[in-house]
Structure 1
Amino acid sequence: MQCEVKCLVRKSTKLLPMILKHNLRFIVYLLNLNILDGYVRTEGAWLLNPMKQVYRANSEEECAEKCENEDKFACRAFLFTSKDQQCLTLTENTKTAMIFRRANAVLYEKRKCKKIGKGVNYRGTEAKTQKGVRCQKWADNAPHKPNYTPEKYPNAGLEENYCRNPDKDEKGPWCYTTDPDTRFDYCNIPECEECMHCSGENYRGVVATTVSGLECQRWDSQQPHSHGYLPENFPEKDLKNNYCRNPDGEPRPWCFTTSPTKRWEYCDIPRCTTPPPPPAPGRQCLSGRGEDYRGTVSVTEYGNTCQHWSSQSPHRHARTPENYPCQSLDENYCRNPDGEQRPWCYTTNTTARWEYCNIPSCDIWPLSAEAVDEPEQAEVTEECYQGNGVTYRGTASFTVTGKKCQAWSSMSPHRHNKTAENFPNAGLSQNYCRNPDADSRPWCYTTDPSVRWEYCDLKKCDGQGLQTVPKPPQTTLETNPDCIIENGVDYRGTVAKTARGRTCQEWSSQKPHSHDYFTPRTHPRAGLEKNYCRNPDGDVNGPWCYTTDPRKAWEYCDIPKCPPPQYECGKSKFRPKLCAQRIVAGCVSHPHSWPWQISLRTSYGMHFCGGTLIDPQWVLTAAHCLEKSSRPAAYKVYLGLHKELATEPSVQIRDVEKLIKEPRRADIALLKLSRPAVINNHVIPVCLPKENSVLGGREECYVTGWGDTRGTRGDGYLKETGFPVIENKICNRPEFLNGRVKNHELCAGNIHGGTDTCQGDSGGPLVCLDQDKFVQHGVTSWGLGCAQPMKPGVYVRVSNYIPWIKSVMESN
């Protein structure tokens, strides 16, 4: 006779030690189980299902209870709408029914697995045996007369020909077969919780201790170990509580530990006894990251032959067929077993451990005009849509909640029929927001598996195609030239009379007043054009000029003070190129598209480091850039430049008033400028991240600088490159930086090399796009060489120092 755990404990306390010993994992599962854990959630989805029951429900959990207790049919999914508090229990799921987009609806589907135990409660729709033979209907008498029928076992779910376990068979669900020679066979239904298939990529159990018995750290916590594996960064990986998971392609599930001395460790998850689910048909071309590529390319992009995955020569490694049994690591074919950017392999070249492979793309659609580089100085305008946005052809690719859009040509994570082939006139290129079905406004499928689609973060245009919501005013040299900031050294307006009404003498003229010092030749950067009021000597009282009155040599001009500048941090007025090429081998930036980038120079104007404007009067740089001198007078800051020669009229030069290094000797420092920078189209501060925020692994970010290009083109111009952030857990592997990267630092770079920061880029920014603004997450700090394979660059993690930055700026 079977009995629940609580019943056994009540009947005999002698059984408790045995239960705890043999069923601890099961008990932990029961204690932690939420009724919704047995379902896969998809927001914004609706199923067309003719058989359903409609109920009133106050919550998703209450609706799940309706599904669990449904007695009119086997409930496989339910829909819940919070606005109407409506609950629909369904007989079908996305495998058998058509799926639609619908706002404010949430779809929950029962997980397609046995769950705990023998699969007695399995109610999935698998209808084939483990050998692929179709199941006989439970109500039929041919070809086999069944002992288990819907009439005899009404609660066993014996509907259609679906695999079931009405007799509690130890081996799990089974069925009578349509093969006259085989009465019954078992079905290949995966186990959900207590074991893992393959490398545990899909393990969703509740084990929360490591192989050595350490308790796991919660994934949403940064204590005691800061990391990038946050649930919001990996929504498809089910990083729930502190359960063991495998979000990054390790050989088996792992977790960060609660021990300060042990950053992470593998978990002891047994392999399932049932065979893994059959893999989806592999592709012979590249789609997404190419994790399903199963072609036979076996040469890298640099022409090196691939090493066999089962071989340990010439390179020893852990990416073996035994550790990754479901990744088709056959022969020496290029594969992507661990979620890299694209398929790769270890090489037979002893000097090149591994390299990416060139796999032809599955995307047959040519690049649209929108994918072509922008003009050199294409000014960024606020994108908007007209009407319902059917004609919108902009490049917005984020939703109203900040989720990245899924490419229209992709079927992952959401399958759909909104493709360029089906909607040839809808402009469905890349992952740009569009409105192919004439909805109320542009939308997209999201890259979050739990949210099918959302409207895009776009404003509606007015009648002239302009955004109807006004932007905040911006006081700049370009928009309001006839006012001064501070003492007006940067004033370039056209006032040409003194405060007493006298007309100004031209600066290039020597009549009526002869002067040899303040001329366009002696002060080429002072804007001494015509007879306009200027302040070439930094007079504290403001702009002045020589007068045309022979009796008065010079006078001050009456120019009002500008109001405090208003600006949006991290938003360039010129569209960045966002080059992700192989600034060593990056590409030359569009001029002034990174307006927070500064050049840190010696007192005589020689560039040696980078930095970032984070406030009109403050610059963030690396502490090691300030090692030669502790005197502020030894440094100058150049802003608003694209050419290293700084010959543009937009250049602003500031002395350094104070320099403050981080007190615990982290490689980060602040510079206070002698006077605030003039905020204009060429000079804009970057945004700072939230305190202690951490980037997810493989997030694409960008670095800029005038550093050593090692013979590549673009020397003397600001260069940029984009590459992914690499989680410290991976970056500290022996083959990479071997434990050198500290918690207050982060890694970024292309593992195969070719792109990196270098000498002269130190102190510059690593910025990442957060919706429509660039946020500085790193300060360029150090690296082992420049652009070397397996040696990514290291950056100080800015988010760790937000309190220090704020306190320094407020107290100075």
Structure 2
Amino acid sequence: MLSRVQVNKTDTALNTAFSTEPACPKMGISKAVFLLLLFLYPAQGDILDDYVKTEGAWIVGVTKQIYKTNGKEECAEKCEAETKFTCRAFLFTSKDQQCITLAENTKTAESIRRTNVVLYEKKIYLLECKNGKGMDYRGTESKTQSGVPCQMWSNNKPHIPKFTPDKNPTAGLEANYCRNPDGDEKGPWCYTTDPNTRFDYCNIQECEEECMHCSGENYNGKISQTESGLECQHWDNQEPHTHGYKPSNFPEKNLKLNYCRNPDGEPRPWCFTTNPTKRWEFCNIPRCTTPPPPSGPGQQCLSGKGEDYRGKIGVTVSGNTCQRWSVQFPHKHARTPENYPCKGLEENYCRNPDGETKPWCYTTNSTMRWEYCSIPSCDETETVNTDTIVLQQSPVTEDCFRGNGQSYRGTTSLTVSGKKCQPWKSMSPHKHTRTPEAYPKADLRENYCRNPDDDPAPWCYTIDPTVRWEYCSLRRCGGSLVTLPKPPQTTIASTLHTTAPTQKDCVVGNGKDYRGTVAHTASGKTCQAWSSQKPHSHDSFTPVTHPRAGLEKNYCRNPDGDVNGPWCYTTDPRKAWDYCEISECPPPEYECGKAKTAPKLCPTRIVGGCISNPHSWPWQISLRTSFNMHFCGGTLIAPQWVLTAKHCLERSTRPAAYRIFLGLHTERAEESSVQMRDVERIFKEPGGADIALLKMSSPAVINNEVIPACLPAENVVLGNRAECYVTGWGETKGTGGEGKLKETGFPVIENKVCNRPEFLNGRVKNHELCAGNIHGGTDSCQGDSGGPLICTEQDRFIVHGVTSWGLGCAEPMKPGVYARVSRFVNWIERVMSIA
């Protein structure tokens, strides 16, 4: 390799990239060094902008210095000024204001979990890519492009170096890592351990700052205009376009300011635009000239979503042969090898190029555009039959923990602050050693909260790159939450009360639902048993004629809805009947969105769902005709208020035409827990959206079977693939469970995706949201209209949608559409406060 560049790397004078001409004579440093310092430590901005922050992580560092500081910024200054070693990171504990500067970071040393500490790592030492010539490259690549190990920069064998840590202290010449101390145009290099080859270049990929690899999934540049020249909307804004791609929903996607990004598996980066008539558009990002990072051999079995599956199965779950990715017949598409160059789109093999739930393919069947594939799982706990993958699931367990939770085997996967848990198998965004292989007895399945290391309570790593781990939002069995205090509520429905009622011998309204044990009248006369005909004969009110009125024994009741309250026949032959004196109940107390019976959270993918646990969705109501026939659903959001769909109220404008049943599990409503209410007033959303409020004639009695759901925060938008649940007594299409409340869980589909031509083709409006399984099989259907789309948030259920419309039921590529409740929270609260 005798070339000009090799001569420059011998004992000749330094080239002009490191001229000795002083740029700042008083400082005694060269112009090149001065410019490099300006690049590494920009004058403007927060000093912490150059660091990656991770809460709850502690590095077991050998080389370190301990300081007492007044804040994290001062600690960063200590790191920058460290002279005893190269400071790559620092730890800061706010409780005792301790600062620990470190020579190691998470790339070079083990990290462990610890509370009340924050780790800050210099970004420059975490990057394994180069910008431009790579003069600032500080990664850990230590072999040449031909695979020869690099020589230590401080060694003299086999080659005497011109560039050494002593002579070039700012060039990062530690260990034997590839560097570019002389500004070589070809990028980082190193002296080799081969006596016959003095030096060689290293294969360092370009950072995706000004260009992109693959489909730009990791593009982090600052282009903020679309290909037609439109300015991008900021990701944390909801105007002019509401969306679910908020930075908090995608913490690992670096959705910063209004820069073009690719968070959802598109062919290239894109953004929402500031033009109200153009929702989103692709951006023009140049491709990097260096090859993309190697993807590895890939899996031959299904792990996670199967994005790294590189096997050769080319048949779908129903037996259709896959269409080749490179052809456009019988189905035209954009998932081509050219658009997705790093996704292994070879032949017609099943792949997952765009973040679907598992590998799939377009089919050669002209009537079936695409289907998922049946890929054998890499998990030994899964077995495969000839048609599908059968998961060996543990039995349903109580979702609470005992002791310190080491035996907890539930399915909670949310932390105390509402963050989703990182799967235990995954090393992204947090590398760790708590793997299923390392802790085989800890049941580290999926991303479920666990306690593999004898911590005080179950915990998990989070999907937020800035928060390494947190405890989970779980209760002790038989007790209350042992995690963070409950967050303050922000809506009328959720601020009313906080605990379940205990007093029974009191009445709400006219006492039609009174089921207490008072058995004497206001004048002190003992009540006659309702089943008895002595001393007073009567046929109007008996347990047979009014089976739902609670006419057991001789307790005071109100079977006819008397406005004056409960009464009874008396045992005095001279007094046929009289009113009872029962005190009025205090305002009901409850926690919205918290059922007393744990729901199944049916995992099947109410058509094709499963029968719910009785009263596990206590906010579900049945909207009925005046003849008590069920035709729509609804959601109790406050003791006297129900949310439903406006189209459910088209049959009549009269409130008297409707009745509301609460506390039921079967459609026949024969349970003693059933409460019935007339509708007093109807409020339809004035802007034309498919959402309405019903005020009941009297408040519901809040108990174990009847509890309101929580309202969402105003204008909050769910992220793509957020898991939610739909419940109802609607059409089941022969899937069983008729007459009983059914449930099904499926993901939210961002409107940007749902409005694609192959899905709902632009029909979904901003005040609506989509949810469903793209491959069909489960959905809401006729009779479910007006019912809730419920999503979990921390340890409670929030009503995010009102079942509105769809193209058929459970059809592939046709998800259901729901009124987006968060857009109407202000209207809902205003109506409830004045009506």
Alignment of 1:161-172 (within 5 A): 161-172=176-187
> Map of 1:85-124 to 2, 5 A cutoff?
85-103=97-115, 104-110=117-123, 111-114=126-129, 116-124=131-139
Partner residue in 1 for 2:10: none
Q: What is aligned with 2:228? A: 212
Closer, same or farther in 2 for the Cα pair 1:262/1:68, shift >3 Å?
Answer: farther
Match of 1:15 in 2: none
What's the CA shift string for 1:320-360, capped at 9, x where partnerless? 11111122222222222211112221111111111122222
Contact (CA 8 Å) 2:314, 2:348: kept in 1 or not? yes
Report the secondary structure of 1:806's partner residue.
Answer: helix
Instruction: Give, in whole Å, the separation in 1 of the partners of 2:622 and 2:509.
Output: 22
For residues 720-799 of structure 1, the aligned pairs below 5 Å read: 720-799=743-822
CA apart distance, 1:263: 1.3
Per-residue CA deviations over 1:282-305 (Å, capped at 9, x if unaligned) read 222222222222222222222222
Q: Does residue 652 of the first structure (1) align with residue 675 of the second (2)? A: yes
Does 2:213 correspond to 1:201?
Answer: no
1:620 is the counterpart of 2:620: no
1:155 corresponds to 2:167:
no
Aligned with 2:379: secondary structure? coil
Q: 1:257 aligns with which of 252, 262, 273?
A: 273
CA displacement, residues 26-70 of structure 1 (integer Å, 9 cap, x when unaligned)? 99x979875545443322222223223444554444444544554
3-state SS of 1:644 partner: coil
Specify the SS of the correspondent of 1:633.
helix
Separation in structure 1 between the aligned mates of residue 482 and residue 134 of structure 2, nearest angstrom: 58
State the Cα distance separating 1:531 from its structure 2 match.
Answer: 2.0
In the alignment, is the contact (CA less than 8 A) between 2:53 and 2:118 conserved in 1?
A: no
Q: Kindly indicate whether residue 461 of structure 2 is the aligned counterpart of residue 445 of structure 1.
A: yes
| Letter in structure 2 aligned against 1:405 | C
Question: What's the counterpart of residue 82 of structure 1?
Answer: 94
The 5 Å alignment of 1:581-592 reads 581-592=604-615
Structure-1-length-normalised TM-score: 0.90
Residue 563 of structure 1: aligned partner = 586
Report the alpha carbon displacement of residue 761 of structure 1 after superposing the two structures with TM: 0.8
Instruction: Please give the alpha-carbon distance, in whole angstroms, between the structure 1 residues aligned to 2:326 and 2:191.
Output: 40
The 1-side partners of 2:747 and 2:408 are apart by 30
RMSD: 2.9
1:673 matched to 2:673? The reply is no
SS at 1:730's partner residue?
helix
1:421 deviates by: 4.1
Instruction: Give me the whole-angstrom Cα distance separating, in 1, the residues matched to 2:99 and 2:283.
Output: 38
Task: Give the Cα separation in 2 of the matches to 1:593 and 1:752.
Answer: 27
Q: Secondary structure at the match of 1:236?
A: helix
1:277 is aligned to 293
Partners of 2:474 and 2:481 within 8 A in 1? no
- Is the 1:484–1:491 contact (alpha carbons within 8 Å) kept by the matching residues of 2? yes
Pair 1:455–1:473, CA change in 2 (3 A): closer
Residue 829 of structure 2 is matched in structure 1 by 806
Secondary structure of 1:127 counterpart: coil
Of the three residues 54, 62, 86, the one matched with 1:50 is 62
Match of 1:509 in 2: 532
8 Å CA contact 1:46, 1:107 repeated in 2:
no
Cα gap change, 1:89/1:196 in structure 2, threshold over 3 Å: closer, same or farther? farther
CA shift digits 1:613-647 (9 cap, x unpaired): 11111110000111111111111111111111111
> Does the CA-based 8 Å contact 1:526-1:535 persist in structure 2?
yes
Query: Which residue of the other structure, out of 705, 708, 719, is the alignment partner of 2:742?
Result: 719
Give the C-alpha shift of residue 177 in structure 1. 2.9
1:524 pairs with 522, 547, 569, which one? 547
Are 1:419 and 2:432 matched, yes or no? Answer: no
Contact 1:701 1:768 in 2 (8 A): yes
- Are the equivalent residues in 2 in contact too, given 1:507–1:530 (CA < 8 A)? yes
Change (3 A) 1:617 1:290: same
Which secondary structure state, in structure 2, belongs to the residue aligned with residue 515 of structure 1?
coil
Over 3 Å counting, the alpha-carbon distance change for 1:618 and 1:570 in structure 2 is same
How far did residue 785 of structure 1 move? 0.9
Q: 1:67 to 1:105 in 2, by over 3 A?
A: same
In structure 2, relative to structure 1, the CA distance for the partners of 1:309 and 1:144 (3 Å cut) is farther
* Shift, 1:365, TM fit: 4.3
User: Given the alignment, which residue of 119, 125, 140 partners 2:140?
Assistant: 125
Is 1:597–1:764's contact at 8 Å kept on the other side of the alignment?
Answer: yes
2: CA distance, partners of 1:370 / 1:56: 51
8 A contact 1:475–1:562 mirrored in 2:
no
Q: Is 1:549–2:577 an aligned residue pair?
A: no
Structure-2 separation of matches of 1:373 and 1:63: 48
Measured at CA, do residues 272 and 711 of structure 1 come closer, stay the same or move farther in structure 2, by a change above 3 Å?
same
Q: Given the superposition, is the C-alpha separation of residues 606 and 459 from structure 1 closer, same or farther in structure 2, using an over 3 Å criterion?
A: closer
1:489 corresponds to which letter in structure 2? K
What is the number of residues matched between the two proteins?
781
Alignment-mate amino acid for residue 356 of structure 2: E
Residues 44-53 or 218-227, more deviating: 44-53
Q: What secondary structure does 1:800 align onto?
A: helix
Q: 1:416–1:152: structure 2 CA closer, same or farther, 3 Å change rule?
A: closer
Cα distance 1:316–1:70, how it changes in 2: closer, same or farther (>3 A)? farther
**TM-score, scaled to structure 2:** 0.88
1:696 to 702, 719, 729: 719
347-356 or 56-65: bigger deviation: 56-65
Q: Say whether 1:579 aligns with 2:566.
A: no
Give how far 1:208 is off: 1.8
Gaps of 5+ in 2: 1-15, 24-37, 383-389, 487-496
Match for residue 12 of structure 1?
none
Amino acid at match of 2:249: N
Q: Distance in 2 between matches of 1:553 and 1:706?
A: 43
Q: Distance in 1 between matches of 2:416 and 2:184?
A: 50
| 1:320 maps to 2:336 | yes
Candidates 421, 426, 440, aligned match of 1:405: 421
Partner of 2:353: 337
Match of 1:537 in 2: 560
Q: Which deviates further from its counterpart, 512-521 or 717-726?
A: 512-521
Q: Is the 8 A contact 1:123 1:164 kept in 2?
A: yes
Aligned-partner Cα distance in 2 for 1:441–1:729: 40
Q: Which residue of 1 aligns with 2:662?
A: 639
Aligned residue for 1:433?
A: 449
Percent of aligned positions that are identical? 71
For residues 453-475 of structure 1, give each alpha carbon's deviation from its aligned partner in whole angstroms, at most 9, with x where no partner exists: 122334667xx878799998856
Kindly state the Cα deviation for residue 538 of structure 1 after the two structures are TM-superposed. Answer: 1.0
**Which SS does the other structure have where 2:829 is aligned?**
helix
Moved more, 536-545 or 131-140: 131-140
SS in 2 for 1:670: strand
CA contact (8 A) 1:384 1:465 kept: no
Change in CA separation of 1:410 and 1:757 when aligned onto 2, cut-off 3 Å: same
What is the Cα deviation at residue 563 of structure 1? Answer: 1.4
Native 8 Å contact 1:588 1:714 kept in 2: yes
Q: How far, CA to CA, are the matches of 1:244 and 1:526 in structure 2?
A: 63
Where 1:88 maps in the other structure, the secondary structure is strand
